[in-house]
A = this chain, B = another copy of it.
Amino acid sequence: MSNVKEGFMRISQLAERSGVPVPTIKYYLRENLLHEGELTSATQARYDDSHVQRLRLVRALLGGAGLTVAGARSVIEQIEGPHDTVGEVLGVAQGSVTADVEGQADLDRAMGLIRGWGWDHLDPSDIASVSALARALDGIDAAGFDLPDGMLDHYAHHMADIASEEVAGIPTESVDAAVRYVVLGTVLVEPLLLALRRLAQQDASGRRFLHGAS
Bound: A198/B123 CA distance, A: 12
Contact across chains for B57 and A133 when beta carbons are under 8 A apart: no
Q: Of B145, B170, B181, which one neighbours A188 at CB under 8 angstroms?
A: B145
Residue-wise interface mask of A (43-83) relative to B, using a CB-CB cutoff of 8 A (1 in contact, 0 not): 00000000001001101110111100000000000000000
Residue of B nearest to A91 (CB): B202
Which residues of B lie under 8 Å from residue A140 when comparing CB positions?
Answer: 60, 64, 188-189, 192
This chain: copies in complex: 2
- A77 CB to closest chain B CB (Å) equals 16
Contact across chains for A160 and B191 when beta carbons are under 8 A apart: no
Which residues of B lie under 8 Å from residue A114 when comparing CB positions?
Answer: 199
Bound: A172/B98 CA distance, A: 37
Which residues of B lie under 8 Å from residue A136 when comparing CB positions?
Answer: 64, 188, 191-192, 194-195
- Cβ-based interface call for A167 (8 A): yes
